[in-house]
């Protein structure tokens, strides 16, 4: 009976979940949009993960390399400054 169903393609469809791992290149534009579209909890989780990664790498050197890069726009530099200022406790008091 099952062989007939397979041969006649009369079996009902079953949904299964399969995890597929693949390397994908993500552009800075796509990454920025993805972060921007996250809700506040997702952004908190993102920042916590970024902070964890930064503990394992020389953060000061990374930030210096970014700020020294001639391709960093003035608006991006201002954004970095705003994030730094806003995250300080003085702004909220």
pTM exceeds 0.75, yes or no? no
Q: What is the C-alpha separation between 77 and 85, in angstroms, rounded?
A: 12
Q: Is the pLDDT of residue 93 over 70?
A: no
On whether both 67 and 88 belong to a single domain, the answer is yes
Does residue 43 contact residue 50 with C-beta atoms inside 8 Å? no
85 shares a domain with 67: yes
Confidence bin at 90 (pLDDT 50/70/90):
low
Which domain range does residue 42 map to?
24-57
Q: Could you tell me if 62 and 93 lie in one domain? A: yes
Residue 71 lies in a domain: yes
Three-state secondary structure call for residue 78: helix
Q: Give the pLDDT score at 91.
A: 58
| Per-residue pLDDT, 17 | 85
Does one domain contain both 53 and 68?
A: no
Residue 52 has pLDDT above 80, yes or no: yes
Q: Is residue 43, in this structure, part of any structural domain at all?
A: yes
């Amino acid at each position: 009976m099952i062989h007939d169903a397979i041969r006649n393609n009369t079996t009902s469809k079953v949904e299964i979940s399969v995890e597929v791992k693949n390397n994908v290149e993500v552009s800075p534009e796509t990454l920025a949009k993805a972060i921007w579209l996250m809700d506040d909890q997702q952004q908190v989780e993102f920042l916590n993960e970024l902070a964890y990664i930064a503990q394992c790498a020389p953060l000061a050197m990374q930030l210096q390399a970014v700020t020294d890069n001639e391709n960093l726009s003035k608006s991006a530099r201002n954004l970095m400054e705003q994030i730094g200022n806003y995250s300080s406790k003085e702004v909220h008091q």
